Amino acid sequence: MAKAVNELIIDCLEGKRMAQKELYQLYAPKMLGICYRYTKTLEDAEDVLQEGFVKTFNNIKQYKGNGDFGAWIRTIMVNTAIDYLNKHKKYKKELQLAETALYVASNETPEIYLDTKDLVDLIRKLPIIYQLVFNLIAVEGYSQPDVAELMNTNINTIRSRYSRARTILIEEIKKQEEVQLNYYAK
Amino acid sequence: MQNKFEDEIQKQLDDFTLTPSNKIWGKIEANLDSNEHRKFPIWWFSVAGTIILGAGFWYYNTLSNTKNADNTVKITNKAMRINQNNKPTNTIIIATEEHTTYKLIKNVGATLIAKPTSNNKRVFSQPNKTASTNNSPNTSNKLNAATKINSPIDDFKIKSIKEDYTANSNPSLLNPSKQNAIVAKIQSVNKYEDLPKDSIQTNESSTSVASKDSIFKKEAVVINIKHKEDSITAYNKKGKFMITIGSGLINILSKSPVYSDALSSAADPNNNPAMSTNERTTSSPTKGFSIKAGLVYQQPLALKWQLLVGLNYLYIQNTQSVGLRKDSINLSDDGHYFEAGYQSNLINYAHIVQAPLQLKYLLNSHSKHPFYLLFGGNVGYQLNSKWLVGANSNTILYYKKTLATNFVASTMLGFGIAINDLSIDITGHQSITPLQNSNYSKKYLQQLSLDVNIPLNFFSFNKQKK
């Protein structure tokens, strides 16, 4: 019978490998879903997942037990993903690109009929800089000043990036839904 | 900022999951394992660091105690007081037991630290000068010309305060040049052959003069100090062969998991000899021991530096308990039978021939028991070894000789002390090439070794002494 999360955490504190594995098995699918949203390939997402869990187990003593453990791991995964993007050339270069294009911000709030996987894939199609900001703000619920601090940039840049990401995504969602509608109409 | 769109996104993505590939857990486990193993060298190096710092502190203390404003040594403090009172213009020579270091200190009392060669007592004569010697290690009374200092040869540290030879010399004791001089006991005149000729010169004629004062012929000379420098240093350039024997502890560091799911190294937590499929752990007993024997040649390079090269035989071994999963295939591999569902003891071992290349830095070369630091490395060749490698997904166990890498290299750091011609080393070694190299696991060797180096002439030398 599976142990409760709290018991697993206590066992993990003692370095018990079986408990670590159980905890991993419990949280890995959800965490991989998160990592996947931040990266461009599944391999990269798995790399982030791996690094994230190593950090989790190495720092599990820091978990005070006063919050949801899943949320704690999620924070580690998000931070690991940001580190990963900053560390790897293919992402780093793109992250450092300055926005040049002018755009019209969208204030639309469309209904989303796409299934989750399609929606995630659309987020992942965003340029990495927008993908990151969108994930942090729209999905994780970080505030714009927090993201600005996290990314070491000013709030206007973040506001601009988020607005741009949101606009692109809404356009893409509409396009995708249209394609699907046409497909089913046929 | 949150609005309907963001709410919708969050709601949808909250349940988004993906199944990670099977290899991910293995990688995490390997990473956690290597982190655990890494703790050992950090602890190890911090201990070594503390010892080195302690030794450094001790050395610094010794050195600072021995120095004064005139770049002289501690023992001269006593002489300095004489200097203040009587203004002697003597010379101090400090020599190590092997007469490798000489320090000339001008205008202070004369002192010699030396080790004699025989058990005879030696009588040193004092010149015709009375000096205040309240601080003399030999007497708290005043010395006069008639005072003779008897020193047991085996513990011969002349800390006698020599008088002002120049101004108040006993002509029979001094050489004709009337330079600052001191009667010095040395093992043999030949010992000085390697000394820089322009710094110290032996004077055979003075030997005979000295012999009048009960100093044995050929065992004592008068050294004329030609150059009145603050410090004259020289070292014995003769190398020596030493036998090395040692033993130590080893730690096998695996860079990737030793075991696959087919194996377990831990005992069944329920004390049930049959391993349950789910009761597995990757933590593995990796500690073991080493035995070493060999021959080393030590060649002095400078006053404080020595080079060591040699050839050693090294045997390392560790034992680990391995449980094979219940659903594994019973198998015999390379002569070892493994029964699924039971613990089985394996002995990993390697026979290695290695060539050490080390540098020795003497921290206190003038001391009777010099303390030194060692650093360098070893290159070696594994003659024969057997390592547990791991098991593949089909539960086939690998415990083989063939996966060992033949060439192994390691770095080394340590310290030691020389006591009565023996040198005792404590060294830490970290291999930089794997002992064993396969897709399953790379094994690196960490070794903490206690070695004793015995000069080849040690036994004959001691016999002679008796």
Domain range summary for chain A, segments of one domain joined by +: 5-91, 97-185
Rounded distance, CA B399 to CA A12, Å? 31
- Residue A116's pLDDT band (cuts 50, 70, 90): confident
Which residues of chain A are within 8 Å of residue B5 when distances are taken between CB atoms? 108-110, 112, 138, 166, 170
- The larger pLDDT score, comparing residue A181 to residue B405, is at A181
Nearest CA in chain B to A52: B28
Rounded distance, CA B307 to CA A54, Å? 44
Which residues of chain B are within 8 Å of residue A112 when distances are taken between CB atoms? 5, 8-9, 12
Rounded distance, CA B267 to CA B119, Å? 62
Q: What is the pLDDT of residue B86?
A: 35
Place of tokens 């955490």: A9
Domain range summary for chain B, segments of one domain joined by +: 26-59+237-465, 72-230
Nearest CA in chain A to B283: A17
Residue A104 corresponds to which amino acid? V
Q: Does B302 touch chain A (CB under 8 A)?
A: no
Which residues of chain B are within 8 Å of residue A139 when distances are taken between CB atoms? 9-10, 13
* B32 to chain A, closest Cα gap in Å: 7
Is pLDDT of A33 > 90? yes
Tell me whether domains A5-91 and A97-185 share a fold: no
Helix axes B23-66 and A17-38, enclosed angle (nearest 10) = 100
Please state which CATH class domain B26-59+237-465 belongs to: mainly beta
CA B258 from centre of chain? 33
Q: What is the pLDDT of residue B202?
A: 36
SS3 B437: strand
Place of tokens 């020389």: B418
Q: What is A5-91's CATH topology?
A: Rna Polymerase Sigma Factor; Chain: A (1.10.1740)
Which residues of chain B are within 8 Å of residue A30 when distances are taken between CB atoms? 16-17
Span A83-111, average pLDDT: 69
Q: What is the pLDDT of residue B347?
A: 76
| Cβ–Cβ under 8 Å, residues B356 and B376 | yes
Give tens-digit pLDDT for A43-55.
Answer: 999 999 999 999 8
Q: What is the pLDDT of residue B195?
A: 38
Give tens-digit pLDDT for B140-151.
Answer: 333 332 223 333
Is pLDDT of A150 > 70? yes
Element at A22 (helix H, strand E): helix A17-38
Which residues of chain A are within 8 Å of residue B21 when distances are taken between CB atoms? 46
B19:A110 CB<8 A? no
By CB atoms closer than 10 A (0-12, 13-18, 19+), residue B109 is buried
Work out the mean pLDDT of chain A and round it to a whole number.
83
- Report the 10 Å Cβ neighbour count for B118: 14
Q: What is the pLDDT of residue B2?
A: 55
Span A109-131, average pLDDT: 85
- Express as a percent the part of chain A with pLDDT over 90: 18
CATH code of domain A97-185: 1.10.10.10
Q: What is the pLDDT of residue B308?
A: 94
Residue of A38, A116, A122, A124 to mutate when probing chain B, most B C-beta within 10 A = A116
Closest Cβ–Cβ partner in B1, B8, B281 for A18: B281
Which residues of chain B are within 8 Å of residue A106 when distances are taken between CB atoms? none
Element at B458 (helix H, strand E): helix B458-465
DSSP state for residue B270 in the 8-state scheme: T
Tokens found for residue B128? 């015709």
Indicate the range of A27-31, A163-167, B315-319, B383-387 predicted with least confidence: B383-387
Q: What is the pLDDT of residue A98?
A: 52
| Cβ–Cβ under 8 Å, residues B456 and B421 | no
Q: What is the pLDDT of residue A177?
A: 80
SS3 B13: helix
A46:B24 CB<8 A? yes
Q: Does B13 touch chain A (CB under 8 A)?
A: yes
- Report, as ranges of residue numbers, the positions in chain B whose pLDDT lies below 70: 1-2, 35-44, 46, 57-236, 254-286, 320-345, 365-367, 387-405, 436-442, 459-466
Rounded distance, CA B262 to CA B282, Å? 11
Which residues of chain B are within 8 Å of residue A28 when distances are taken between CB atoms? 20, 24-25
**Residues in chain A whose Cβ is within 8 Å of chain B:** 15-18, 20-21, 24-25, 28-30, 32-33, 36-37, 42, 45-46, 49-50, 53-54, 57-58, 108-112, 116-117, 119-120, 137-139, 141, 143-144, 166, 170
| Cβ–Cβ under 8 Å, residues B230 and B104 | yes
